[in-house]
Amino acid sequence: MSSIDGFALERDWNRFHTPNHLAMSVAIEAAELMELFQWMTADEASEAVGDPAVKESLRDEIADVLIYLLRLCSVTGVDPIEAASSKLERNRSRTWDR
């Protein structure tokens, strides 16, 4: 995360990188990720990722989501690995209706 934090610092973005703005940015980038497959069936989406251009766009959008999410973790003091591990452990004891 230090390289992401450094990137923001170099550009004087810390004043904009508040929890609410970063959470919105995660959602916006996630919407751009969804847009890649918006009108495709599940089969079409699975096939599309074999196309190098689609794969590159997919990688870019995943990276954007991840960068903003990691920046949000840094700004709020959340360890993303610990948070995911803890949540997975809690989910092991949960059940969901189908």
User: pLDDT (tens digit, 9 = 90+) per residue, 86-96?
Assistant: 999 999 999 88
Q: Which helix (H) or strand (E) holds 85?
A: helix 80-92
| Alpha-carbon distances, residue 58 vs 26, 31, 50, 61, 85 (angstroms) | 15, 12, 11, 5, 25
Q: pLDDT digit string (tens) for 34-92?
A: 999 999 999 999 999 999 999 999 999 999 999 999 999 999 999 999 999 999 999 99
- Tell me the pTM: 0.89
Amino acid at position 6, single letter: G
Cβ atoms of 80 and 70 within 8 Å: the answer is yes
Q: pLDDT digit string (tens) for 6-18?
A: 999 999 999 999 9
| Alpha-carbon distances, residue 57 vs 12, 48, 67 (angstroms) | 27, 11, 15
Q: Is residue 1's pLDDT more than 90?
A: no
> Which domains are assigned to the chain?
2-92 (1.10.287.1080)
